[in-house]
A = this chain, B = another copy of it.
Amino acid sequence: VILYDASESGNCYKVRLLCALLGLRLERRAVSVTDRSDRAAILGHLNPALRVPVLILADGRPLAESNAILLFLAEGTPFLPEDRYQRALVAQWLFFEQYQHEPNIAVARFWRHHPDQAGTARERQTRVAAGHAALDAMEAWLTTHRYLVAERHTVADIALYAYTHVAGEGGFDLGRYPAVTAWLDRVRGHDGHIPIDA
């Protein structure tokens, strides 16, 4: 199994983390997140959206979108509930992550790491406010839940962990979110957990 990968990308880290927890080996192929000029040549036939991660299955078929890859790999494992409603709640958090969390928290972090590609001050302000709203939603939920779904570690936690645990790099103050902070500790305490720079 091959992963088209970028080491600093939380989206790619999600896949690396789940594979580590499942004991699956990945062959990583690095793709740049700053120079995108070769994206069409490398990824054009694998993912029409030209984003990483892209997973190449053993039979050569490609699969893109980090959260679709998580759902695919987790099927039949403890990281995806069997129950239909609980699986739907996992999907609910995965879509929340890609719509309200990643575009704000990951982008604010990317802009800090790569100031030459950053948006305007107003654009940053908009992303930071929306990122705080996403963290508020997580904090409200995690105040009364140990994990996002089914009170156990699922791919919903893996997906949200990826950019939440590095939110400080985007200028977010996690000290304001005690329930989120305690949940981050629970997630990273699981056997087989690896850091983003592993």
Contacts and interface: CB of A to CB of B under 8 A. Distances in A.
B141 A65 contact: no
Interface stretch (A20-28, A68-76, A109-117, A184-192): A68-76
A95 B92 contact: no
B68 A92 contact: yes
Contacts of A51: 100
DSSP class of A's interface residues: helix, strand, loop or mixed?
helix
A138 interface: yes
A64 B137 CA distance: 13
A8 B89 CA distance: 25
A41 to B, nearest CB: 14
B137 A96 contact: no
A98 interface: yes
Contacts of A123: 123
Contact of A99 (B103, B134, B137): B103
A123 B127 CA distance: 12
A14 to B, nearest CB: 12
Interface string A74-111: 01000000001101110110111011101100000000
B100 A88 contact: no
A171 to B, nearest CB: 20
Interface of A: 48-51, 57, 61, 63-69, 71-72, 75, 84-85, 87-89, 91-92, 94-96, 98-100, 102-103, 120, 122-123, 134, 137-138, 140-141
Given A48-B141, A66-B95, 8 more contacts: A48-B137, A48-B140, A49-B134, A50-B137, A65-B95, A68-B92, A72-B84, A98-B99
30 contacts: A48-B138, A48-B140, A48-B141, A49-B100, A49-B137, A51-B100, A61-B85, A63-B85, A63-B89, A64-B96, A65-B92, A65-B96, A65-B99, A68-B91, A68-B92, A68-B95, A69-B88, A71-B88, A72-B84, A72-B85, A72-B87, A72-B88, A72-B91, A91-B91, A95-B95, A95-B98, A98-B98, A99-B99, A99-B103, A120-B122
